[in-house]
């Protein structure tokens, strides 16, 4: 922490026993760790000058600090030396404070120099950094790890319950489920939900049939505010989807769906395009899903619903319902559609 130089004119002259009064105690500078960050801005510096001295001497103190990029110098001050001892008040600035003590004689010749650094961080800056770090981590966790969502409607009942109100008074009768969504179940989104346009999306896997996913509604009107939807994946790219007589067929195979509220009353047929999935709500007759607004682009995918954390009486994991027999049918050759 300390550096010292001496003039040949006064061999043996040096500044020593430097200390600061910090936190109601006197601490020798040599005892301070070079990386220690002080929390007090106003300090008192003291030290001694000894050696063979001819005539009067003065101690000058130079101070500079670097708040952002450019170093700022504090006007040089003279410290009185009384019987070889000197004392002065210091006012530190945020960051690294570089200080230099110089002993000069009456002719202005430098006899000895001591240089040292003191690190200071004010409580305001500490709070700002803490808040910034917490905010940044919240964005990263929310965008990359896990995110909480609220179920406002009944489109996924009975699997997930939406908010329920009395039809006439609109009095709240039931809160919607609060769920956690895994953001890295399928993709690592380094764009942080588009906040960093240059950030890539690294795919880990694609959604499977039976998964419950959260995604940004593919609204054709880009001027509308974004909305998040939650649905179940029924078909993946290339699948033939047929809804007929209350039964959903995928590639000619009837789905076994114990999770739905009731069979769908309308018929529908499509083939799922590439880079999309076909989604439906478990409440088939009260769900705006891919039957009405089309396939869900994978670029809109946010994550997989994994857990209900509120209300307390409904805490449970959200499980997928894989239709493994569809893959087995495909491996066996399937049936013609």
Mention every residue, 6+ apart, whose C-beta is less than 8 A from residue 174: 161, 163, 164
**Residue 112: how many other CB atoms lie within 10 Å:** 22
Mention every residue, 6+ apart, whose C-beta is less than 8 A from residue 24: none
Residue 222 annotated as catalytic: no
Distance CA 215, CA 231 (A): 8
Q: Encoding tokens for residue 268?
A: 């529908």
Q: Encoding tokens for residue 134?
A: 């917490």
Distance CA 299, CA 201 (A): 9
160 in Cβ contact with 127 (< 8 Å): no
CA geometry: angle 61, 65, 71, nearest 5 deg: 110
Residue 227 annotated as catalytic: no
Q: Calculate the CA 247 to chain-centre distance.
A: 44
**Backbone angles phi and psi of 229, in degrees to 5:** -115, 155
12: left (phi over 0), alpha (psi -120 to 50) or beta: left
Active-site residue, from 102, 143, 155, 290: 155
Distance CA 280, CA 228 (A): 14
Active-site residue, from 143, 231, 287, 290: 231
Burial state string for 296-331 with b = 16 or more CB within 10 A and e = fewer than 16: bebebbbbbbbebeeeeeeeeebebbebeebeebee
- Concatenated DSSP letters of 249-313: EETTEE---TT-SS--SS-EEEEPPTTEEEEE-SSGGG---HHHH-PEEGGGEEEEEEEEEESGG
Catalytic residues, by residue number, are 155, 231
């Amino acid at each position: 922490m300390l550096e010292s130089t001496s003039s040949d004119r006064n061999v043996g002259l040096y500044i020593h026993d430097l200390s600061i009064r910090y936190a109601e105690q006197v601490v020798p500078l040599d005892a301070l760790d070079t990386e220690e960050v002080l929390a007090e801005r106003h300090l008192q510096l003291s030290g001694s000058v000894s050696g063979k001295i001819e005539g009067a001497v003065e101690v000058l103190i130079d101070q500079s600090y670097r708040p952002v990029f450019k170093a700022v110098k504090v006007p040089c001050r003279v410290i009185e030396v009384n019987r070889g001892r000197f004392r002065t008040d210091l006012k530190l600035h945020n960051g690294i404070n570089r200080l230099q003590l110089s002993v000069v004689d009456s002719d202005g010749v430098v006899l000895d120099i001591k240089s040292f650094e003191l690190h200071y961080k004010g409580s305001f800056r500490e709070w700002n950094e803490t808040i910034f770090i917490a905010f940044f981590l919240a964005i990263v966790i929310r965008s990359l790890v896990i995110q909480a969502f609220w179920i406002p409607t009944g489109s996924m009942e009975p699997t997930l319950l939406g908010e329920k109100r009395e039809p006439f008074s609109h009095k709240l009768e039931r809160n919607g489920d609060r769920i956690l969504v895994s953001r890295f179940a399928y993709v690592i989104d380094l764009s942080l939900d588009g906040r960093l346009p240059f950030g890539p999306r690294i795919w880990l896997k694609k959604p499977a049939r039976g998964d419950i996913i959260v995604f940004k509604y593919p609204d054709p009107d880009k001027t509308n505010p974004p909305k998040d939807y939650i649905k179940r994946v029924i078909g993946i790219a290339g699948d033939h989807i047929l809804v007929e007589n209350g039964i959903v067929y995928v590639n000619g195979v009837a789905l076994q769906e114990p999770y739905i509220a009731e069979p769908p009353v309308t018929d529908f047929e499509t083939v799922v395009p590439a880079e999309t999935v076909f989604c439906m709500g478990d409440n088939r007759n009260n769900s705006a899903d891919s039957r009405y607004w089309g396939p869900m682009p994978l670029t809109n995918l946010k994550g997989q619903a994994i857990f209900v954390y509120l209300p307390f009486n409904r805490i449970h994991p959200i499980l997928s319902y894989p239709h493994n027999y569809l893959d087995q049918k495909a491996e066996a050759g399937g049936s013609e559609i």
